Every structure is written in C-alpha cells, then in structure tokens.
Structure 1
Amino acid sequence: MTDTPDTLLDGTHTVLTPEYVEFRFTLAGIYSRFLAWLLDTLIVMVGTGAILSGLSMAMMVFPGFASALGFVIYFLVDWGYGIALETAWSGRTVGKRVMGLRVIQRSGVRIGFYHAALRNLARPVDRLPFLYLVGGVAALLSGSYQRLGDMLAGTIVVRERRLKAPSAIGAAAGEGLLADPLFVSRVKRLSAEARELVLSAALRREELRMEARLRLFSALGTKLQELLAMEKPAHLSDEKWTLLVAAALIPAPGARTSTGARAVA
C-alpha cells in the first residue's frame, strides 16, 4: 500500500488486532492541531465573556474578585468544553471537527469520558510557560505527536477521512437476511466498539493482503455469530456474513440519520 502525501507528512500510527491484522491511522500534525486549538480557544473565550457579562452585577459588588473570578470561570469553561464535546462527539471539538481531526485511544477505538477528562485536565501543564510550549515539545519528541495529556490518557489525535461504502456492501443489501427484523434488531444492539470494527473491516478490506483478510473475516464471522446469537447461513462466507452486518449498520440512501460510513485513517 502506497503512502499518501498526508501520511508521509503527518506520520502514521499502526494498530495490530488480536488477529494480527494491521490498521493504519494518519496522525494529525502540530500545525493542524494548533489551528483547531485556536478555533476552540476563540469559542471558549466568547463563552467565558458571555458568562462574565451575565455576572457583571456581582463583579461590580466585589470588584477585588473580578480578575480571579475571570480566570476561574475561563478554566472551568475550557475544561468543561473539551471534556463534554470530546465525550459526546467521540473525540471531537468544534475546532477538531472543522480541521477533520479526532482523538482516539492508542488501540484505535473511540475515547470515553475518562480519556477526555484526563487529557483536558492536563492542559494547564501542557500550556506552560505559554502557547503550549511544554505540550508542543512533548508532541515533537513523541513518536505519535502526543502532548503530556495524551500520554497520560493513552490517546492520539488522528486525521479523519470519509470512505465510500464499497460496492460489496451494496450487493450484500440484496440478501434476504436484511429483511429479517430479528437479524436487523440484533445488529443494531451491537456495541459501539463492535460496530466500529465491522465497518472499519468492511471499508478497508481491499487494503489488506489476502492472508490477513481471510484471517480477519474468519475471526469476525465467528465473533459476530456469538454476539448476535445467530448461526451464519451455510451459503455465506465469513466475509459476506460480515458485510451483511455492515450493510445493516449503514443507513439506506436518503434515510434521515446522522450515522455515516465514516472511518478514521
């Protein structure tokens, strides 16, 4: 597989699955992360200003506490903004979304509240002495562009890319099993991690060597039978069975839903 210019510029992070299949993620560079931070900082400052405006009467009564209160509110808004959005948006803030970036765990799966809280609570240290100098130096020295908060939380920041659903998934949509309400309902109940693995495997199948591809879908086919508590139809291969599950997860064209065939790379 040939590296793209973005990959060569920003570097890559490789995740090895238990089936010894490699998935590669394009790491976000310092420049794109800095631009995302600038946008997020602007939003935090506007939010802080709005809150302080609402508390202007109280600050007039206690003018000596105005400066201290401003700093406290700024840090509370800054922490709350990063933690809340990265938890709710699966590793994205407004700045990261605009720049096409996402925070994920080093294992390649989405982050939760614990990871978002750790990496954001460490920001005051990363900011020292100014403009994220400590965090920037740590990221440059790290092989995965991790600032101190990322090292603490076990996270990395990667570039996103939209991948079109392969034609094989569209072909799988013709299978009668997708009309079975029991099958579809059980697929919809899969965990977020299982959904990400199925969709990532389906979208990246052409990038894998044949041996790794067979090994991956064999393991996935067995695991999906266990998770769905359903036997795989005898006429389906493990790969076709997995693609059927992926087809059940991807909304039909024109469906009004926010779920998409998105993957990070």
Structure 2
Amino acid sequence: MTDAPDLLLDGTHAVLTPEYVEFRFTLAGLYSRFLAWLLDAVLVLTLTLALLSGLNLVMVAFPGFASALGIVLYFLMDWGYGIALETAWSGQTVGKKVMGLRVIQRSGVRIGFYHAALRNLARPVDRLPLLYMVGGLSALLSGSQQRLGDMLAGTLVVRERRLKAPSAIGVPAGEGLLADPLFVSRVKRLGTEARELVLSAVLRREELRMEARLRLFSALGAKLQELLAMEKPAHLSDEKWTLLVAAALLPDAGARAAARPPRAA
C-alpha cells in the first residue's frame, strides 16, 4: 500500500534499451534529496572546521586572511566532496547512500567525472537565493525532478532498488560449467559495464514481458559468447547461459573452480 503514493510523489523514469526492453527507475523526491543534502552539508562543514582547526596559527596571526581562507576552503571542500564521492561511488555521497539515492545518467548508466563535476559546479546557482530554492523550483517544474545542475549534466537522482538476488544465480543449472576454471576466469575479466548489464538483466528479468525477455537474453547470450570467446553449450538457453555468467561473477565462484579436482590426462 505504501508503494503507490511514493511512485506518485517521486515519479518514474523509463529507459528503452536497443533490444526494446524497458527499465523503470523511481525518481527521488525533494524531501529525500533535501535530507541527503543536509547530511552531506553537515559532513562538509565538519571537515572544513577540522581543516581550519589545524590552521590556528594562521588564524591568530592573520584573522582577516583566515576568514577568507575559511570561505575558500569551504567551497573547495563542498565541490570536491560531491565530485570525488559521486565519481568514486558511482553517483553516491554519504548522504545519498544513507537515504538510498543514486545519481545516474538519463540513459540509465552510471555517471563519470564529467557528469559529477558539471552537476556539482552548478550548485551555487541552484542554491540561490537560499536553501536550494532555485534548484527546488526547477526540480518541481521539470518533469524529471532535475535541478539546473542535473539538466546541465544530463543526470537524474533515483532511488536505489533493493533487489534480492534470485536463487537461480546462487545455484543455477549447469554447476559443471561453474566449476570450470577457464570459464570462471574469463567471466571475472569482464568489464564493469558488462558486469552491470548482466546482473541488472538477471535481477530484473521477472519484471519483463516474455517477448522482451527473450529478445534481451538472446542479445545478451550472443554478446557474452563474443566477450568470453566461448561458445554457449548447446543444451543451455540464452537465459540460462546468462544466469551462469552472473553466478560466476559471485565471490564464491572462484572457490568452486579451485576446488574442482583436476581432469584425468
């Protein structure tokens, strides 16, 4: 009963993949974003004061210069904090992590340094005249809850989805392939984007219509054969093949491969 009001309040953003599979993201509302910002602001202020406390000698000798230095340090910490954490944590700061929020591109993929820098450098404008009134107004008027910095960077703030890994990832059919060190080692070498695509498809597959599900895993199955330089076993469907790749990405996959007895010569 609580999901419907949240969806109406926060809104959703749909992304259509090249395989015509639609993924929906729940947009973060102003209230949760404000709380995340408030926590981040307290952390930035605390870090700035801690840094200034180490400059006591300068503050005593040059009080006017110390005040100006404190303002400069605050803005540097404020910008640097957001840019650094959102780049390193794939769109999250401490405040966003606590509130279960994440910044993504409009295409649904993770943001990089360029996007984090643009949206954070625009904060002084969004804050005008105080407490993000300009940013809040633009978020209310934009249909995607975007403040000016998000519009400039092409980003969105969404709610993290708490998806439980299906049992098929942990114990899929084809355990023998998971015990193959060659298969596991090649899967472990997959790039970040390929890993995210595989895990996202597997975790959300139950939400897809059958036609879209078949198209998605058909394309994924062919792509994984290319990336792994391995042919899919004939008895496995494209979806089972992708499930095995997802299972091999889990931490215990390497242990299963290492525990496999050597083949007889």
Q: TM-score higher than 0.5 here?
A: yes
Change (3 A) 1:173 1:117: farther
Q: Output the CA distance in 1 between the equivalents of 2:16 and 2:110.
A: 16
| Greater Cα radius of gyration, structure 1 or 2 | 2
Paired letter, 1:9: L
Paired letter, 2:77: V
Structure 1 residue 172: Cα displacement: 1.5
Q: Which runs of 5+ in 1 are unaligned?
A: 256-265
- CA deviations 1:221-247 (Å, max 9, x no partner) are 011111111111111100001111111
Structure 1 residue 68: Cα displacement: 1.5
Q: Equivalent residue for 1:52?
A: 52
Structure 1 residue 174: Cα displacement: 4.9
Q: Equivalent residue for 1:262?
A: none
Paired letter, 2:18: P
Q: Which runs of 5+ in 2 are unaligned?
A: 256-265
Residue 178 of structure 1 contacts residue 248 of structure 1 at CA under 8 Å; is this kept in 2?
A: yes
Residue 100 of structure 2 contacts residue 159 of structure 2 at CA under 8 Å; is this kept in 1?
A: yes
Number of residue pairs matched? 252
Q: Equivalent residue for 2:136?
A: 136
Q: Output the CA distance in 1 between the equivalents of 2:203 and 2:250.
A: 11
Paired letter, 2:196: E
1:42-191 equivalences under 5 Å are 42-172=42-172, 174-191=174-191
Q: Equivalent residue for 1:226?
A: 226
Alignment partner of 2:111: what SS? coil
Greater shift in the superposed pair: 95-104 or 157-166: 157-166
Structure 1 residue 6: Cα displacement: 2.4
2:38 is the counterpart of 1:33: no
Structure 1 residue 4: Cα displacement: 4.0
Q: Equivalent residue for 1:249?
A: 249
Q: Output the CA distance in 2 between the equivalents of 1:111 and 1:195.
A: 16
Residue 173 of structure 2 contacts residue 240 of structure 2 at CA under 8 Å; is this kept in 1?
A: no
TM-score (norm 2): 0.91
Paired letter, 2:136: G
Greater shift in the superposed pair: 182-191 or 216-225: 182-191
Q: Equivalent residue for 2:260?
A: none
Q: Alignment RMSD, CA only?
A: 1.5
TM-score (norm 1): 0.91
